[in-house]
Amino acid sequence: MGITVIINPQSGSGLGRRLAHALRRFEPVLLDPARAAEQLEGRVAPGDTFVVGGGDGTVSLVVETLFRMGLGEAVTAVVYPLGTGNDLSRGLALRLPPDPAGFIETLAPDQAERREVAVWKMGTRYFVNYVGLGIDAQILATADRWRRYFPARPFMRKLSLGLAGFRHPFYRIRQEMRVHTEAGVLELKGQGGVILSNVGYIVGGSRIGALEPAAPRLSVTLVRSSLDLIRLFLSRFGPPKPVLPYTLAREVLLEGGPLPAEIDGEVALFEAGRVTCAGTLHILAPPGPGTHLP
């Protein structure tokens, strides 16, 4: 079993660089999003374990790259959450172990806790957490224009997202747009947007629906306005505040567009068509309580 360590050095206000230093014996890959496929080619093989340190966007990029390479279901992941939201880690109860290097150096798959999460495909893109279409993607795009001034400061990114929300309180989809599920058709024209979620934590932490991450089902949530996004965000800090209506679907068909889109917390291009389950990602989690890097 080979081990490949993949780190986003910009994550977590320096945590990424410190983790890369702690795991230097494994000659970590310092991820360059534009060269991800080139960096992983020949480094990961069937049966290997890969360690990915970074936020949801980093994890999504690595997983997408491995699925494109045909390795997505043939390898095992260890996720070290170092990002702003860490929605996947929240949804799967993943934590950074007290001794990250020690956990990898003494990795015993039979002693680690196992998690599984479905991986989805929208057009040519893959995602693990969620896809947001409409208002939340517009807010993210606005915040990302400011992000270049503080790329490694999670608090400032959260603040920028909040401020960007005030710039688009009345955003509405103006073009014809439909979302088809087994339960029926959602008409999005005149609405704020829609969120297709694979984990219970989305857009700042909502816990809506009876979602099992390993099950091939998406939560489809209609977002009518920015007030719904506020409810989703406040669910992180207290009791669940579901936004209705929502439904669970095994397959989704998107018609219409174009409109703002985000995939796993990163600005993306919208692609109409079917959203289907592409496979399962296998994850090893450190047993017991976790912590943050000092």
**Tens-place pLDDT, residues 24-74:** 889 999 999 899 999 999 999 999 999 999 988 999 999 999 999 999 999
| Residue-level pLDDT at 147 | 65
173: DSSP letter = -
Q: Which residues contact 294 (CB under 8 A, 6 or more apart)?
A: none
Which whole number is the average pLDDT over 79-101?
Answer: 82
State residue 277's pLDDT score: 95
Residue appearing with tokens 């603040």: 159
pLDDT at 93: 81
Among 124-128, 207-211, 242-246, name the most confident range: 124-128
184 in helix, strand or coil?
strand
pLDDT band per the 50, 70, 90 thresholds, residue 12 = confident
Is residue 188 scored above 50 in pLDDT? yes
Q: What is the mean pLDDT of residues 61-89?
A: 91
Which of 51-65, 79-93, 120-134, 239-253 is predicted with the least confidence, judged by mean pLDDT? 239-253
Residues 6+ apart with CB under 8 A from 53: 5, 6, 7, 8, 11, 15, 16, 19, 20, 80, 82
Residue located via tokens 């996720």: 79
Tell me the pLDDT band of 255, cut-offs 50, 70 and 90: very high
Cβ distance 204 to 162 under 8 Å?
Answer: no
Task: Decide the pairing of beta strands 130-134 and 29-30.
Answer: unpaired
Q: Return d(Cα 139, Cα 162) in angstroms, integer.
A: 9
Has residue 214 got a pLDDT over 80?
no
- At residue 162 the predicted structure's pLDDT band, cuts being 50, 70 and 90, is low
Instruction: Give SS3 for 230.
Output: helix
The larger pLDDT score, comparing residue 248 to residue 189, is at: 189
Residue 134's pLDDT is: 92
Q: Give the pLDDT score at 39.
A: 94
Q: Are 219 and 209 in contact (CB under 8 A)?
A: yes
Return the SS3 of 223.
Answer: strand
Angle at 20 between CA 19 and CA 25, to 5 degrees: 115
Q: Is 69 in a helix, a strand, or coil?
A: coil
CA angle, 143 as apex, 191 and 86 as ends, to 5°? 90
Per-residue pLDDT tens for 145-159? 666 665 555 555 666
Q: What is the dihedral of CA 183, 186, 192, 198, to 10 degrees?
A: 30
Q: Residue 220: which region, alpha, beta or left (left: phi > 0; alpha: psi -120 to 50)?
A: beta
136, pLDDT greater than 60: yes
Mean pLDDT across the chain: 82
Residue type, 233: F
Render pLDDT for 256-279 as a digit per residue (tens, 0 to 9).
988 899 999 888 889 999 999 999
Q: Report the run of H or E that residue 145 belongs to, with start and end.
A: helix 135-147
- E-strand stretches of the chain: 3-7, 29-30, 49-54, 76-81, 113-122, 125-127, 130-134, 177-181, 184-187, 193-197, 218-223, 246-249, 252-256, 261-263, 266-268, 273-285
> What pTM was computed for the model?
0.86
Closest CA to 130 of 67, 65, 205: 205
